[in-house]
């Protein structure tokens, strides 16, 4: 059976379905997506600021907190390859090494703490785009990575708000970053990252 991630039956989904197996036994994809949004929003309020160093383990903990009320596999690295539209994400066997490269890059730059605002936003856009291509989880990558980004921005001493982000623009920025074109991500982060925290 074809699904939005490729061909064949997805072991994360109900048989003959593209709906992810979930603790609420929701079998309708739009209803599940709504439940996922609402539950992860509530769960995000439980997440406290985490200072560096950041790692794949940090991201797993964030993902676990966001999605454990809905998915048994929350916080676990995916075990299948995934594709969305024409984008093929990191091969399942390369997830941990590639994620570790991203975090090593971030760590080698002292978590961007000494960067000017422009340098910070440019580097953060590249980090986000590269980590998103790793796509460590079966679902919920964007939300988990955004929470991590919030921690990085707050650690640098700035406020961040996603309120001004247009969904279509965000999706396009993610698509562009597949081709190492970070301009739209840079534009979005420039709007999202506000004044210094006093």
Phi, psi of 85 (to 5 degrees): 55, -120
Is the pLDDT score of 2 beyond 70? Answer: no
Question: Tokens in use for 78?
Answer: 């995916």
CB-based contact 123:114 (threshold 8 Å) = no
**pTM metric for this prediction:** 0.93
**What confidence score (pLDDT) does residue 59 get?**
99
The CATH number linked to 109 is 1.10.3290.10
Asked whether residue 176 is domain-assigned, the answer is: yes
The yes-or-no verdict on residue 6 having pLDDT over 70 is no
If one counts the domains in the chain, the total is 1
**Residue 132 is assigned to a structural domain of this protein:** yes
Condensed to tens digits (0 to 9), the pLDDT of residues 106-159 reads 999 999 999 999 999 999 999 999 999 999 999 999 999 999 999 999 999 999
Decide if 1 is inside a domain: no
Domain of residue 67 covers 29-196
Residue 11 lies in a domain: no
**Residue 18 domain flag:** no
Rounded to the nearest 10 degrees, the angle between the axes of helix 117-134 and helix 167-178 is 80
Q: What is the pLDDT of residues 28-86, one digit of tens each?
A: 999 999 999 999 999 999 999 999 999 999 999 999 999 999 999 999 999 999 998 88
Query: Is residue 122 domain-resident?
Result: yes
Question: Does residue 107 fall inside a structural domain?
Answer: yes
Q: In degrees, to the nearest 5, what angle opens at C-alpha 161 toward C-alphas 60 and 126?
A: 60
User: Is 127 within a domain?
Assistant: yes
Residues whose CB is less than 8 angstroms from the CB of residue 70 and which lie 6 or more positions away in sequence, other chains included: 22, 23, 24, 35, 36, 39, 40
Q: Residue 1 — very low, low, confident or very high, per pLDDT cuts 50/70/90?
A: very low
């Amino acid at each position: 059976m074809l699904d939005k991630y490729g061909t064949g039956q997805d072991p994360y989904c109900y048989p003959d379905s593209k709906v992810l197996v979930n603790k609420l036994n929701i079998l309708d994809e739009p209803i599940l997506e709504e439940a996922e949004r609402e539950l992860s929003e509530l769960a995000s309020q439980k997440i406290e600021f985490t200072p560096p160093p950041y790692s794949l383990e940090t991201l797993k903990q964030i993902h676990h907190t966001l999605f454990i009320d809905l998915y048994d596999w929350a916080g676990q690295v995916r075990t299948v390859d995934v594709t969305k539209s024409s984008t093929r994400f990191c091969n399942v066997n390369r997830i941990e090494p590639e994620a570790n490269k991203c975090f090593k890059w971030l760590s080698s730059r002292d978590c961007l703490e000494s960067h000017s605002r422009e340098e910070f936003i440019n580097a953060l856009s590249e980090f986000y785009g590269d980590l998103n291509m790793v796509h460590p989880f079966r679902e919920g990558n964007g939300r988990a990575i955004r929470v991590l980004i919030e921690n990085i921005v707050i650690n640098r001493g700035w406020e961040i708000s996603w309120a001004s982000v247009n969904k279509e623009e965000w999706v396009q920025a993610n698509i562009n970053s597949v081709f190492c074109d970070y301009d739209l991500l840079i534009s979005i982060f420039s709007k999202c990252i506000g004044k210094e925290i006093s």
